[in-house]
Structure 1
């Protein structure tokens, strides 16, 4: 598909069950913005929520919005102010922006900035457009040059892998320890890969269906448990448990799977509002319940680990679709039994 100078093909959410692949105007870049020719984008759960519900949690679509925040590409026009990578540089994208609001948060944890924005998010008006497009105008500070030897296709998992890397860092050291991962979708699978790299002695993957468990094994899980087997979950006795299903039952399983004095890292984002939880069991076992939200600067470490081969995430990507088939890509990504990470080629 050819681009005119001032337009680009993009994947745009207009509302619930209304995602379109359409040609839109390419905005004029500011002095600190670069134009990136997007090569690949990974479909995230938030993209699926905007498609199926017209909202991701409390972020409700109120105007058309370009989806996508897991993207890699090549700079075709460098920022006019000289910041960021030069033209021709292959880059990954850190999709977060810190916005000062006067509210407190730890300065070394910018992912907790209460006024922060993320590519492809309807949390604010106007919405923050994503980068599922043939060309995207992006702040140069978001761009990370790929290390030598790392291909764009292999780098497409850098953003979700950074989420996994951050989650593992929230657990403290996992070296030599027994780890359990509840929910072996793309994020859970990447947590397994990162935990393996970090030296976990045992990694138990838990999921409802067989497909994710098979992928988990390829990524480093030493054993698997079907999520409906409550007795098997209670016997896991893990030092660290990662909850990545984003469901109340998953969190209950995580508490049951944790050893006394263990730690539960809550990665999957549960629906807003009150949720059932086994708090009494967490108290009597003296469990540490720790939140993990997005990531800070871990994407730089992820890119180096992908490049040197110490992080092998190749089994996470299961399907690739052309941009014109984006709706088919979304449908496949929604089927967790059949797919891991689904990517779109632009």
Structure 2
């Protein structure tokens, strides 16, 4: 296939197909994608045909965690030159003309689009393809010291970076992370970089806890309610997106502490131990995607101050995408799984 892409058609219908030549606009560069990280939303589109309220209504190229090299510069002269290694900021912020939003927080713009999202129709096609045309405003050059595999972690690491920043300065403070999947591991990495005094991750999966332990964190089985309640953490980041995880996050927080709600909970009513949050005077803060944090993350990955060793557990050829998705969907076997678009060309 000349321009192989990973396309979701419906629940359980993931296809590897040729999407044909790209036709960039004047302000778009063509990027030869090197690596793409499989995200939880990609897995939801594959398994369920929807990610939350975003329901597949037409075929959609998946993927928003990508790195690559500019193979054709934008015709209008904007953006990086041919041969520049880049990562992609997938967000296009937009207002709806009705809903107010803070313009210094573009991640909260109410009518935004995101690569590989079915929120709008037509869908916003993603970047899991050998070649994609992208607006140059989305492209962030990376230093030569940053290999493209690691660079593919920049997008999820920016999600984690924002969550930690929402809690304020964590230097010298204890941090608990509920859920030790890829995002939870990255939250712990950011907290460690920022000088947290103690970092504890909880999870159900022994493999996830083993990775966290190998990376220098304390770990707890997520079923050990008493041990979690005894943490008295200054900052808790809930990254599991589960109801038990939400309860654990409030339980783990010290009086006067901060709980950052990062994992996306199910739609509708969700049971919450709100009385405990009130009596402990907890600060409950949401964290959603990211803005300019991506630039800081790229710098931190490039200079090595953000340690992500071991978080990429597998790299699979894009031609084996179906097997790679199955692997990524099994937390007992994997952490972050990357697709390699450079093989088999």
After TM superposition, is the score higher than 0.5? yes
8 Å contact from structure 1 (residues 247, 268) kept in 2: yes
Q: Distance in 2 between matches of 1:38 and 1:139?
A: 14
What's the Cα RMSD here?
0.8
Q: Does 1:77 align with 2:53?
A: no
Residue of structure 1 in register with 2:164 after alignment = 168
| Equivalent position SS for 2:310 | helix
Residue of structure 2 in register with 1:157 after alignment = 153
Q: Distance in 2 between matches of 1:85 and 1:176?
A: 39
| Equivalent position SS for 1:315 | coil
Q: Does 1:132 align with 2:109?
A: no
Residue of structure 1 in register with 2:311 after alignment = 316
Q: 1:120 aligns with which of 112, 116, 123?
A: 116
Residue of structure 2 in register with 1:257 after alignment = 252
Residue of structure 2 in register with 1:59 after alignment = 54
Question: How far off its partner does 1:99 sit?
Answer: 1.4
8 Å contact from structure 2 (residues 22, 131) kept in 1: no
Q: 1:24 aligns with which of 19, 22, 38?
A: 19
Q: Distance in 2 between matches of 1:27 and 1:126?
A: 18
Q: Distance in 1 between matches of 2:81 and 2:136?
A: 10
Question: How far off its partner does 1:275 sit?
Answer: 0.5
8 Å contact from structure 1 (residues 154, 314) kept in 2: no
Question: How far off its partner does 1:28 sit?
Answer: 1.1
Question: How far off its partner does 1:153 sit?
Answer: 1.1
Residue of structure 1 in register with 2:196 after alignment = 200
Question: How far off its partner does 1:215 sit?
Answer: 1.4
TM-score normalised by L of structure 1:
0.97
Q: 1:338 aligns with which of 327, 333, 336?
A: 333
Question: How far off its partner does 1:148 sit?
Answer: 3.0
Encode CA deviations 1:324-343: one digit per residue, 9 max, x unaligned.
Answer: 10011100011112110000
Query: What are the ranges of 5 or more consecutive residues in structure 1 without an aligned counterpart?
Result: none
Residue of structure 1 in register with 2:177 after alignment = 181
Q: Distance in 2 between matches of 1:71 and 1:257?
A: 34
Query: What are the ranges of 5 or more consecutive residues in structure 2 without an aligned counterpart?
Result: none
TM-score normalised by L of structure 2:
0.97
Question: How far off its partner does 1:26 sit?
Answer: 2.8
Q: Does 1:329 align with 2:324?
A: yes
- 1:255-334 paired onto structure 2 within 5 Å: 255-334=250-329
8 Å contact from structure 1 (residues 261, 285) kept in 2: yes
Q: Distance in 1 between matches of 2:22 and 2:316?
A: 26
Q: How many residues are treated as equivalent by the alignment?
A: 340
| Equivalent position SS for 1:14 | strand
Q: Distance in 2 between matches of 1:92 and 1:113?
A: 22
Question: How far off its partner does 1:190 sit?
Answer: 0.1
Once superposed, which parts of structure 1, at least 4 consecutive aligned residues long, lie more than 6 Å away?
none
Encode CA deviations 1:91-127: one digit per residue, 9 max, x unaligned.
Answer: 0000000113222111110000001110000000000
Q: Distance in 1 between matches of 2:22 and 2:315?
A: 28
Q: Distance in 2 between matches of 1:162 and 1:288?
A: 22
8 Å contact from structure 1 (residues 192, 220) kept in 2: no
